[in-house]
Amino acid sequence: MTNIRTIEGDFTDCQGRYALVVGRFNSFVVESLVDAAVDTLQRHGIDTDSITIYRVPGAYEIPLAAQRVARSGKYDAVLALGAVIRGGTPHFDYVAGESASGVTNVSLNTDLPVIFGVLTLDTIEQAIERAGTKAGNKGADAAMTALEMVSLFRKMES
């Protein structure tokens, strides 16, 4: 096993342009994700001039906007950030499922890292935990994933 070549991303060659496609619905949680994602990108040397935020109404609209952003050719990675909190109707299942499926399809169809940072939660308490308290911040996690994927893709090209 030691002779097998292994290629993986790291955080050394991750300079580039990053787009955040952000659902405004549940903004009391989502803005914490955005702040953490931007902070993480900046801590890894990404200039603010290389970060663009696109805002859409909610998680359901994220895939279409992410697709347009990804197809523009202007970005090295796209972060999809939002929050869907379960209510008393099946609406949650449709929105959460379609958002996840849509983001996956955008990534596969554009050959670009499109990172799924949309929280799908049962309660407001879970949302708050994942936006910066007990469970860390999933916006920061999404940014770390984007940085690593950009690095990996660069290594794959060389």
Helices (H), 3-137: 27-43, 62-71, 91-110, 124-130
Question: How many angstroms separate the Cα of 73 from the Cα of each of 50, 59, 118?
Answer: 14, 23, 23
Question: How many angstroms separate the Cα of 103 from the Cα of each of 108, 109, 112, 113, 136?
Answer: 9, 10, 11, 10, 23
Which of 91, 93, 97, 125 is catalytic? The answer is 91
How far apart CA 30 and CA 37 sit, in angstroms, is: 11
Residue with tokens 């992410």: 66
* Helices 27-43, 138-157: crossing angle, 10 deg rounding: 40
63, 106 Cβ separation under 8 angstroms: yes
**Is 91 annotated as catalytic?**
yes
**Active site positions, annotated:** 91
